[in-house]
Amino acid sequence: MVLNRIKNKIYRSIKKILTQIGFGVKCNICHNKTLRFGSDAWHEFVICQNCGSQIRHRLLMAAFQHTDDFNYKKIIENRTILHFAPDLCLRNFFEVKSKKYLTADFMAEGYSYDSISLNIDISMMSVLQDNSIDVLLALDVLEHVPNHLEALTESFRVLKSGGICIFTIPQKDGLDKTFQDNTFVSPEERIKHYGQWDHLRIYGNDFKEFMKNVGFNVTVIDENFFSQNLVNKHVLFPPILSSNPLATNYRKVYFGIKN
């Protein structure tokens, strides 16, 4: 008992010293510093234990902080933001930085979020006027939406000219064409083919084309946009690749500009 306490104390002290002198990782959202992040069923050492951010969230924040085109000072400050299925780790950032922060979700059975501004389906946003939103975000949302192409069309409609949509989607590494078979309706079949019981498809590299087809000018941001130092420090790429064939090892953040 006493020995364990001493061991834990020594471990914590060493961990503190190592993180202070620059070893370890740092969340670029909540600034949590630790020797390494936590793990989930898909990947080891990718989740910030403090705010719950994952690679897609930190890639987005890296784009906000380190790119010119998508710098938060340019696209978030003084803007109206519409955030679907609002990721908890990002809410505070948008609340503080934006002019108006609207959250939205379609309350499907089994999901609940606190204090949502709008209970709407992203593929049917009739309560929103044309050209009314500066930035629309939906991170890992479209794989749950039956009519995902209509969701893209609707996103284009509600955005102002010059407005930006930001999407992430689970995609199978190296898959060219999005795979969907509407005969897969059981949770077991969906887990087997798409990786999760409530996903309706697994995306491929053609997602960019889906966005282009509705009129967006698309930029795809991944870890290659950032220095190796930043990638390692903020864990913008999995430290260990998942061997699961349905895993998204190569995360991308899709920015679509409505010109």
Where does this chain bind Zn ion (CB under 5 A)? 27, 29-30, 32, 48, 50-51, 53
For Zn ion, the closer of residues 50 and 147 by Cβ is 50
Q: Exposure pattern of 6-20 as b/e (b: 16+ CB <10 Å)?
A: eeeeeeeeebeeebe
Residue 136's closest CA among 168, 184, 109? 168
**How near is the Cβ of 156 to Zn ion at its closest, in Å?**
32
**How near is the Cβ of 83 to Zn ion at its closest, in Å?**
17
For Zn ion, the closer of residues 51 and 85 by Cβ is 51
**How near is the Cβ of 48 to Zn ion at its closest, in Å?**
3
3-state DSSP call for residue 228?
Answer: helix
Radius of gyration of the chain (CA): 19
For Zn ion, the closer of residues 36 and 208 by Cβ is 36
How would you classify the pairing of strands 133-139 and 118-119? unpaired
**How near is the Cβ of 88 to Zn ion at its closest, in Å?**
10
For Zn ion, the closer of residues 18 and 30 by Cβ is 30
**How near is the Cβ of 26 to Zn ion at its closest, in Å?**
9
Dihedral of the CA atoms 69, 82, 152, 205 (nearest 10)? 50
Sequence-ordered list of residues with C-beta below 8 angstroms from that of 41, at least 6 positions apart, any chain: none
For Zn ion, the closer of residues 30 and 220 by Cβ is 30
